[in-house]
A and B are shown apart, each in its own frame.
Chain A
């Protein structure tokens, strides 16, 4: 890992996580550099969420090493983890919106509670509003999560993830359970987040077309929406990792993904819209 450490944002080295003696992650290794995107594919139950939560220090690894922002965080204390997490944004699979708090308070939560991110009240209100504008939900400040649709809740989750302007963004199954149109809207927001904020992005999904969209589109600031990226692939590098029952069975580019011989990997590519 030496030499690449300055650019490395997130790296797993032979990470193993066990639940009840069953390895849910089995010697998982990969590396993600600053500005890159990672598409993490895998069937339900393959360990995608567990991988993401170990990267956040929410689940402790039973073996191996985890590197964040170029530092070995395997042995980090909970207090050190709070500081690390302040540099990351996350959208949880189940949303994780606090249903006792209004949308405004939900989005303001990380700014209020992360010590390293405290800011004056006016500044906070401005950032919350900006963040909600970003996901086109500026009018919902006073509402509660239960009053919003599933797609809107996802968008609030994205607003909460980006409000801290994190260096690393983690999205857990952002399009799961959404209709195709809403799913495309969410993906467009994720692309916008990646291109406008230049954040390193990890997206967990079981839908190959999410990854495809991430690779093939970019956000055009002058037009204000996503457009197909140049064919030569000058945009940010996206790489693909495929998980199967806790093991990495593929790690490579989209082109390699599309020509993969492995049946399990090829199945993701073949799966229709």
Chain B
């Protein structure tokens, strides 16, 4: 029994150690800005299409599914509010994070994993660079700035997708009412939650991707394993954290 939990606990301890070093590194030189911009491009621009598509259709699907229930209560005018709140608080941050986990956490794990098994990470340390500063920190900074921006875009196109279904398609409510309703319903609390979540997710996504990459062993096979592990662990963290953060905000 003790042996069974020893592994995960040791892994978590290693992860916290890396997280600590990366976080402290944020405030220290050197900064490898070209690497930061490359990563920003990879995450922000690279993940844009898939994030927009997911955002659009999750908004559309929500309006579609809600329309029946709202018709029963004769409350179809509220559609804008429901779509907006669910997207901004929950669906936008979570779906965007899951997409970025699939695209970028896995990318980081496989890239750093290949570097690990070909001894490029050892070479970095041997030749005077700290891999945490050179590899982990740029990915952390880039994800932490790009994921909130991606989430905002996903929220917008999601509300737009909801409008397409609600107004032109099903005619549940008037255009003006939909936009008014969705805009007004958002409170300060929702916006905070909707921006805090992607920021927290970004830290976890990038660190998990880098962590599994840097601890890859066992050649090319190990790289595949690290990639899978990174995506699974990052995704599970996202859904657990969204609940925990949501819980804090609900009780506030």
A interface residues, Cβ below 8 angstroms from B: 53, 56, 58, 78, 82, 85-86, 88, 90, 92-99, 109-110, 113-115, 117, 160
Contacts and interface: CB of A to CB of B under 8 A. Distances in A.
A135 to B, nearest CB: 17
A98 B123 contact: yes
Given A95-B118, A98-B120, A113-B128, 16 more contacts: A53-B122, A56-B122, A56-B125, A58-B122, A85-B125, A88-B126, A90-B123, A90-B126, A94-B118, A94-B119, A96-B120, A96-B126, A109-B127, A109-B128, A110-B127, A113-B127
Interface of B: 117-120, 122-130
Interface centre among B117, B120, B128 (most CB of A within 10 A): B128
A233 B122 CA distance: 36
A92 B123 contact: yes
Contacts of B120: 96-99
Give chain A's interface secondary structure class.
mixed
A71 B212 CA distance: 35
5 nearest A-B pairs in the assembled complex, by CB-CB distance = A96-B123, A114-B128, A113-B128, A96-B119, A92-B119
A95 B124 CA distance: 12
B117 A85 contact: no
A109 B127 CA distance: 7
A95 B128 contact: no
A94 B116 CA distance: 10
Contact of A95 (B119, B125, B126): B119
Nearest to A89: B126
Contacts of B119: 92-96
A58 B127 CA distance: 11
A96 B119 CA distance: 5
A114 B129 CA distance: 7
A79 to B, nearest CB: 10
A58 B117 contact: no
Contacts of A85: 125-128
Nearest to B114: A99
A233 to B, nearest CB: 32
Given A92-B123, A96-B123, A98-B123, A110 B128 contact: yes
A86 B118 contact: no
B128 A96 contact: no
B248 to A, nearest CB: 37
Nearest to B125: A58
A80 to B, nearest CB: 13
24 contacts: A56-B122, A56-B125, A56-B126, A58-B126, A85-B125, A86-B128, A90-B123, A92-B119, A92-B123, A92-B126, A93-B119, A95-B119, A96-B118, A96-B122, A96-B126, A97-B120, A98-B124, A99-B118, A99-B120, A110-B127, A113-B127, A113-B128, A113-B129, A115-B128
Contacts of B130: 78
Which of B117, B127, B129 has the most A CB atoms < 10 Å from its CB?
Answer: B127
Contacts of B126: 56, 58, 85, 88, 90, 92, 96
